[in-house]
Amino acid sequence: MACMTKIARISLAASGRKSTLKAVSLRLLLATGYLYDIGKIACEAIDNGEVKSVVKISLECCEMDMVRYAKDIICFFEASTNLFRHLTRLFPHNARFDELRMHRPLNSCEQLQHLVLNNCDTGDQSVLKIDMPNSKITCLKLFSCCFEKVQFLCLSKLSELHYELYIRGRTKQRP
């Protein structure tokens, strides 16, 4: 991972070049020990004008890692809040978020236009409430998500909603 940090630093460093990177795609299985370093490098590239738009795509992981993976995403957010402000697309996969903590990064993504949740939830029998009146989200996709209910309280710019294999929250068996 130290090698990845070095590559990110070299790629995103302001080197006096006259061109600007149009897009940077982070495709990493996040390792908590390096979240701060990579987030800081990416934030510096944004602040220097080297990067104009940021897309965060999460890689798949096994089912038993869903909680840990969501915690890693939140940790990455907390280490690099400036980076999340510039995200235009967010595609988390296989993540079980804490219901309250899931909304902090989403509400902080000021430029977010596309949100794709693939096999994500906030726990058994959970409700996904989306109340983002200032959001720029125009496209929301839910794939294989497990929510008891989805409530759209306010998502004013939403023009596309896709869902596929929607899984209603599991109900607990009564003895």
What is the predicted pLDDT for the residue at 24?
60
Mean pLDDT of 105-128: 85
Looking at every residue in the chain, the average pLDDT score rounds to 75
Mean pLDDT of 1-19: 60
State the pLDDT confidence band at 113, using cuts at 50, 70 and 90.
very high
pLDDT at 7 over 70: no
> What DSSP string runs through the chain?
-HHHHHHHHHHHS--S-S--B--EEEEE---GGGHHHHHHHHHHHHHTTSBS-EEEEEPP--GGGHHHHHHHHHHHHHH-HHHHHTEEEEE-EEEE--HHHHHHHHHH-TT--EEEEEEEESSTT-EEEEE-TT----EEEEES-EESEEEEEE-TT--EEEEES-EEPPPPPP-
This prediction's pTM: 0.64
Domain ranges of the chain: 22-168
